[in-house]
């Protein structure tokens, strides 16, 4: 009888600890997903073609963001290098109209 009671109490203790671990894990995961660079803030997932790729709210762009300004600039893919050019677009990127960066103005580039 004592062995069964000991076994039940041990299982109960591990279950409570596991629940705390899961709760902590899911809280961290949710915060990560909701962060500025989290997947829940993803506005679009587009495959770049070699050369110029125009982005903006106008239907004539290669990549359309419906609630954005008509033109947000160009993303240029050449020789596995990406350059963002927002020349002539208001609210330009720090460092000049052409920026070669991994994260800028809310765009994040990721190599598949």
Cα angle value 107/87/102 (rounded, 5°): 25
Q: Confidence band (pLDDT; 50, 70, 90) for 61?
A: very high
Question: What backbone phi and psi angles, to 5 degrees, belong to 77?
Answer: -110, 120
pLDDT beyond 60 at 25: yes
By the 8 A CB rule, do 22 and 15 touch?
no
- Pick the more confident residue, 9 or 65: 65
The 10s digit of each residue's pLDDT in 92-104 is 444 444 444 333 4
pLDDT at 85 exceeding the cut of 80: yes
């Amino acid at each position: 009888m004592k062995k069964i009671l000991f076994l039940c109490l041990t299982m109960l203790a591990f279950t409570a600890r596991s629940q705390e671990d899961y709760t902590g894990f899911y809280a961290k995961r949710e915060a990560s997903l909701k962060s500025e660079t989290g997947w829940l803030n993803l506005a679009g997932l587009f495959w770049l073609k070699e050369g110029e790729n125009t982005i903006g709210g106008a239907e004539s762009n290669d990549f359309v963001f419906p609630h954005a300004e008509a033109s947000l600039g160009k993303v240029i893919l050449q020789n596995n290098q990406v350059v963002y050019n927002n020349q002539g677009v208001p609210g330009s990127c720090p460092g000049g109209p052409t920026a070669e960066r991994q994260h800028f103005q809310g765009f994040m580039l990721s190599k598949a």
